[in-house]
């Protein structure tokens, strides 16, 4: 069995003269929670559809668990996949439980598994209500329950938290962590970078049909070598004292915002700077090291 559950080699998609995806190589290991980020038109939706077998690949290949998604073991491969489309559309005239029954039948999953899935996504109370009456967040949760049918080994989640309130987003990621503990691999896209940066194991930044960078959030930050920010709170004369102790250390900028001092400095200057700041004693009330956000990293790779 392949250790990489998703393996793309030179995957390319042409739409007429436009090359939407330009020879992407991507490996996702079994059990990973993998994020794919990129702005609209970066090619991530196209890559997603190629991985799912919804659009044919112009050249290259993509293997899911060692098999082509539309290959000879088509049905077997697809039974391992769960998919939650962006802004999932289900059938308005069916009730929640009927919707799951329909998809369960097509996936050859016993119908008796359905109520537990509704429970898992917090929709038990609405099982016999028509989807027409569901809110956007409820539809999204029903779509997620549908994706979980048949305990898939590989989940594709396209902008999964669209329409969910903060509480539901927290519940959603809790379920994702449970699934990862069970060994499920998940590939998700999001435009809310701050939301996924704490939650994915690795991510890929897509831009112009290419994957610009792949790695953990920390890898990407270090790879970009973006400056850190130290935020220091303290009493009167703080700015002068800080400037004094940091003399000789390469600092990019110091800004005072209210009673907080924001010091931008290169990553390699962090430890020496902290050692000197520790000598300030009571003058410094609080100190916070702020890593560059995924947004910073993302825009760093774009530019």
Partner 1 sequence: MLSIDFRQIGIVAGKEFWDRIRNRWVLAVAVVFTVFALVIAYFGAAQQGAVGFRSIDVTIASLVSLVIYLIPLIALILGFDAIVGERERGSLDLLLTLPITRKELILGKYAGLAGALAFSTIAGFGAVGLILSPQLNLNALFHYAGFMGSAILLGFAFLSIAVMLSVFAADRTRASGLAIGTWFFFVLVFDLLLLGALVVTAGDYGGAIFPYLLLANPADVFRVLNVFSLDEVRTLYGLATVFPEALSNPATLGGVMLAWIVGPLAVAIWRFER
Please, what is the end-to-end C-alpha distance for the chain in angstroms?
Answer: 39
Q: Is the Cβ of residue 152 or residue 234 nearer to partner 1 in the bound state?
A: 152
Sheet of 284-290: strand order equals: 253-257, 260-265, 228-234, 284-290
Integer Cα distance of 73 and 85 in angstroms: 23
Spatial contact of 55 and 35, defined as CB atoms under 8 Å apart: no
**Polymer length in residues for the chain:** 303
Q: Which of 93, 135, 225, 259 binds partner 1 (CB under 8 A)?
A: 93
Binders in 102-161 for partner 1, by CB under 8 A: 102-103, 105-108, 143, 146, 156
Of 154, 153, 150, 76, nearest to 113 by C-alpha is 150
Q: Is 97 in the site for partner 1 (CB under 8 A)?
A: no
How far apart, in whole angstroms, are the C-alpha atoms of residue 180 and residue 241? 48
State the nearest-atom distance from the C-beta of 258 to partner 1, in Å. Answer: 47
Nearest approach, Cβ of 25 to partner 1 (angstroms)?
23
| 216 counts as binding partner 1 under rule CB under 8 A | no
Q: With contacts defined by CB under 8 A, how many residues of the chain interact with partner 1?
A: 29
Q: Should residue 194 be labelled a site residue for partner 1 when binding is judged by CB under 8 A?
A: no
Q: Could you give the CA distance from residue 179 to residue 148 in angstroms, rounded to a whole number?
A: 10
Shortest approach of partner 1 to residue 280 CB, angstroms? Answer: 58
Please name the residues in contact with 271: beta carbons below 8 A apart, sequence gap of 6 or more: none
Q: Which stretch binds partner 1 (CB under 8 A): 68-76, 167-175, 189-197, 246-254?
A: 68-76
Contact 249, 267 (CB under 8 A): no
Task: Decide whether 34 or 298 has the Cβ nearer to partner 1.
Answer: 34
Q: Residue 62 or residue 251: which is nearer to partner 1 going by CB?
A: 62
- Confirm or reject binding of residue 91 to partner 1 (CB under 8 A): yes
Q: Which is nearer to partner 1, 54 or 275 (CB)?
A: 54
Range in contact with partner 1 (rule: CB under 8 A) among 49-57, 60-68, 119-127, 271-279: 49-57
14, 25, 59, 87: residue in contact with partner 1 (rule CB under 8 A): 87
Q: Is 298 in the site for partner 1 (CB under 8 A)?
A: no
Question: H helices of the chain, where?
Answer: 44-52, 74-79, 96-106, 114-120, 136-147, 166-181, 193-197, 217-224, 238-245, 270-277, 294-302
As a dihedral over the C-alpha atoms of residue 117, residue 122, residue 126, residue 128, rounded to 10 degrees, the angle is: 10
Per CB under 8 A, the list member of 21, 42, 47, 52 interacting with partner 1 is 52
CB-nearer residue toward partner 1: 81 or 284 = 81
Beta bridge partners of 75: none
Tell me the C-alpha to C-alpha distance, in Å, between residue 112 and each of 108, 115, 125, 138, 146.
12, 7, 17, 21, 14
Q: Is 90 in the site for partner 1 (CB under 8 A)?
A: yes
Residues in contact with partner 1 by CB under 8 A are 49, 52-54, 56, 72, 74-76, 78-79, 81, 83, 85, 87-91, 93, 102-103, 105-108, 143, 146, 156
């Amino acid at each position: 069995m392949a250790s990489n559950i998703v393996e793309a080699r030179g995957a390319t998609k042409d739409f007429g003269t436009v090359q939407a995806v330009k020879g992407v190589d991507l490996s996702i290991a079994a059990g990973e929670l993998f994020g794919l980020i990129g702005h609209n038109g970066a090619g991530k939706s196209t890559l997603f559809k190629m991985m799912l077998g919804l659009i044919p690949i112009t050249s290259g290949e993509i293997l899911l668990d060692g098999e082509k998604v539309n290959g000879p073991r088509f049905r077997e491969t697809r039974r391992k996949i769960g998919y939650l489309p962006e802004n999932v559309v289900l059938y308005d005239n069916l009730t929640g439980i009927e919707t799951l029954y329909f998809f369960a039948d097509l996936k050859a999953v016993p119908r008796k598994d359905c109520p537990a899935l509704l429970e898992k996504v917090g929709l038990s109370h609405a099982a016999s209500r028509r989807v027409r009456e569901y809110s956007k967040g409820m539809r999204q949760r029903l779509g997620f329950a549908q994706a979980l049918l048949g305990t898939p080994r590989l989940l594709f989640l396209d902008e999964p938290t669209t329409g969910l309130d903060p509480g539901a987003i927290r519940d959603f990621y809790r379920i994702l962590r449970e699934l990862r503990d069970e060994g499920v691999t998940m590939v998700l896209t999001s435009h809310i970078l701050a939301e996924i940066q704490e939650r994915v194991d690795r991510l890929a930044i897509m831009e112009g049909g290419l994957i610009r960078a792949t790695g953990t959030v920390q890898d990407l930050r270090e790879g970009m070598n973006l400056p850190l920010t130290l935020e220091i709170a303290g009493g009167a004369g703080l700015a002068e004292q800080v400037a004094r102790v940091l003399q000789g250390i390469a600092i990019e900028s110091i800004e005072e915002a209210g009673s907080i001092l924001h010091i931008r400095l290169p990553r390699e200057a962090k430890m020496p700077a902290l050692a000197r700041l520790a000598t300030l004693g009571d003058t410094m009330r609080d100190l916070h090291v702020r890593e560059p956000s995924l947004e910073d990293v993302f825009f760093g790779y774009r530019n």
